[in-house]
Structure 1
Amino acid sequence: MKSEMEMMLKGYGLTTAQIFYHLPDHPILLQTYVWQDYDLAPDFPEMKGFLKFWQETLDGPLHSVRYVHRRLIAAGEWRALKGEFILH
């Protein structure tokens, strides 16, 4: 398992998906589920894998998915600095 910092340096960002699905016993009603993980845009392999698992395993059929993705750090933003600031 890679650390979060390693994943962010490789371009992964935090992806949050709001999943709307029909309740199995009451298909007219919608329920929401929030999923969050580090994923790689624009292909989103982690989210697609989770949605595939959902469709193959869980009873509540999917209605729709809304998601947002944010890269928290990019390789070009990371640099080593030497020096120190002394306060007081």
Structure 2
Amino acid sequence: MVSDDFVKQVSGYGLATAQIFYHLPDHPSFIQTFVWQNYDLFPKFPELTKFLEFWRRELDGKLHSVTVAHQQLIKPAELRTVNGAFFLH
């Protein structure tokens, strides 16, 4: 069975890392950081967008800023079929 993560990578998803800065609910003058990482599609980032919508709707810490890094782990030129296998005794 193939993992869901591998299927996403072959479908064009890459590893997205977001550093989220937010204000502490009890002390709004302090800023805290949270790191989020998941497979996502560049450049629209639908998974990150869903997470940030959840954050705004459900959590008390007001967002300050978000920095995103993205790397496509499997690129089309790197995926090739195997024509044969060789066994050495």
Q: Identity of paired residues, percent? A: 53
| Structure 1 residue 3, shift from structure 2 partner | 1.2
Residues 55-74 of structure 1 mapped to structure 2, 5 A cutoff: 55-74=56-75
**Counterpart contact for 1:22–1:28, Cα < 8 Å:** yes
Tell me what 1:18 maps to: 19
Whole-angstrom CA distance in 1 between matches of 2:65 and 2:8: 28
Q: Secondary structure at the match of 1:80?
A: coil
| Structure 1 residue 85, shift from structure 2 partner | 6.9
Q: State the TM-score, normalized to the length of structure 2.
A: 0.88
Q: State the TM-score, normalized to the length of structure 1.
A: 0.89
Return 59-68 or 73-82, whichever deviates more.
73-82
Whole-angstrom CA distance in 1 between matches of 2:16 and 2:86: 35
Q: Deviations over 1:51-83 (max 9, x none)?
A: 000001100000000110000002332111223
Return 16-25 or 70-79, whichever deviates more.
70-79
Q: CA RMSD in A?
A: 1.6
Return 48-57 or 70-79, whichever deviates more.
70-79
**Counterpart contact for 1:16–1:37, Cα < 8 Å:** yes
Gaps of 5+ in 2: none
Q: Secondary structure at the match of 2:25?
A: coil
